[in-house]
Amino acid sequence: MLQKYIEDESINEIMVNGRRNFFYEDGNGIHRVEDVFDSTEELEEIIRNIAAGVHREINEMHPILDARLKNGSRVNAVFKNIAAEGPVLTIRKFSRDRITIEDMIRKGTLNRQCADYLAAAVTCGCNIFVSGGTSSGKTTFLNAMSDFIPNQERVIVIEDSTELQLHNISNLVQMECHTANSLGQGSVTMDMLIRTSLRMRPDRIIVGEVRGKEVADMLQAMNTGHDGSMSTGHGNSVTGMLRRLEAMYLMSARIPMDAIRAQIVEGIDLMIHLARFEDGSRKVVEVQELLDFESGKYRLNPLFQLDRDRRLVCTGNRMVNRSKLMLKGYGDDERLP
């Protein structure tokens, strides 16, 4: 019964909250389906089969599954002993059609002026961080921006589970994390991969999403000559994301907050924030240049933001730190903020 929803390309998310509560999301919102599973045991068997198919296990001793299916879908499952209403299964599917910046312009995610500016920023090697809430399109947006990376550069991509599709880069290395096996062995974490990537002669390092102490290694990479590096993270706004980066850095090392903020400011050139609205649309809501910090507060230079009608508009501000643009011949381009 579940298979037909997995195979339906119009569905992008499947949510099972125990055997009696089945939901799926498509382009028209979230829908509920009745009587999908005959019993809790049937649902448990499906989850165990999914786990076995990706060489993982889920049971009362190992009650959480987080993995990627062969078709690229991301699957998370929680066993019945820690879920009050029975086993929970969530499958996030990804479109087989690669979405480009041009597609996003047509859909209203951003406008032409902002797209041209971000294309120049990526080409010129600005370090960019994309923030947003769950399902706001961060990975899709990062994937689209990668089209503007010069083909001759060597790019290292590091992700928890491989999702990015960088088709225009010939000198490309993609690595993904691995969880420990049932014996607690074989774990490969994101911070381990970032550190080893520095020895692989990268021009740029792309980190799919930061969630913890790997932020320290990501910022070290951005601050050691790997211009054009990019990453994403969960945040409610640009300023909220900056505070989260501080907190995640503290998971790695207890150093003065001013030192952490200095590394953030020196490492990241541009912050882009995405949001998902109630109608299901996803939009760029702000693009800010990260300038400095004073008295515990970051100094930001807003370049694009939404107006009252939810239209993305240029603020009229010009980018202050234009050295990377100038090195590539964009510094005096009046079309760019």
pLDDT tens for 313-328 read: 999 999 999 888 888 7
Q: In the structure, what pLDDT confidence band is assigned to residue 331 with cuts at 50, 70 and 90? A: low
Q: CB neighbours of 28 closer than 8 A, spacing ≥ 6?
A: 280
Q: Which tops the pLDDT comparison, 267 or 326?
A: 267
How does pLDDT run across 99-110, given as a tens digit for each residue? 899 999 999 999
Answer whether residue 213 shows pLDDT above 90: yes
Mean pLDDT rounded to a whole number for the chain: 90
Answer whether residue 333 shows pLDDT above 70: no
Q: Report the DSSP pairing between strands 230-234 and 204-207.
A: parallel
CB 142 within 8 A of CB 284: no
Residue positions counted in the chain: 337
Answer whether residue 280 shows pLDDT above 90: no
Mean pLDDT of 111-124: 95
Q: Which tops the pLDDT comparison, 289 or 310?
A: 289
How does pLDDT run across 235-254, given as a tens digit for each residue? 999 999 999 999 999 998 88
Least confident of 3-7, 179-183, 264-268: 179-183
Give, for 44, the enclosing helix (H) or strand (E): helix 40-53
**Which pLDDT score is estimated for 253?**
86
Answer whether residue 181 shows pLDDT above 80: no
Cβ neighbours of 69 (radius 10 Å): 15
**Which pLDDT score is estimated for 335?**
58
Distance CA 102, CA 119 (A): 11
Mean pLDDT of 257-279: 95
Q: Which amino acid is at 284?
A: V
CB 202 within 8 A of CB 230: no
Q: Which tops the pLDDT comparison, 200 or 335?
A: 200
Q: In the structure, what pLDDT confidence band is assigned to residue 54 with cuts at 50, 70 and 90? A: confident
Most confident of 27-41, 69-83, 265-279: 265-279
* Closest C-alpha to 235, from 288, 182, 197: 288
Q: In the structure, what pLDDT confidence band is assigned to residue 96 with cuts at 50, 70 and 90? A: low
How does pLDDT run across 144-167, given as a tens digit for each residue? 999 999 999 999 999 987 888 888
**Which pLDDT score is estimated for 183?**
67
Residue 240, both tokens: 């909220």
**Which pLDDT score is estimated for 336?**
65
Answer whether residue 28 shows pLDDT above 70: yes
Q: Sign of the C-alpha dihedral, residues 220, 223, 228, 232?
A: positive
Q: CB neighbours of 253 closer than 8 A, spacing ≥ 6?
A: 216
**Which pLDDT score is estimated for 334?**
61
CB 316 within 8 A of CB 303: no
Answer whether residue 76 shows pLDDT above 80: yes
Roughly what angle, to the nearest 10 degrees, separates helices 214-222 and 238-250? 110
CB 33 within 8 A of CB 24: yes
Domains of the chain and any CATH numbers: 2-92 (3.30.450.370), 101-327 (3.40.50.300)
Strands ordered across the beta sheet of 11-17: 29-33, 22-26, 11-17, 88-92, 74-78, 64-68
Cβ neighbours of 140 (radius 10 Å): 22
Q: In the structure, what pLDDT confidence band is assigned to residue 15 with cuts at 50, 70 and 90? A: very high
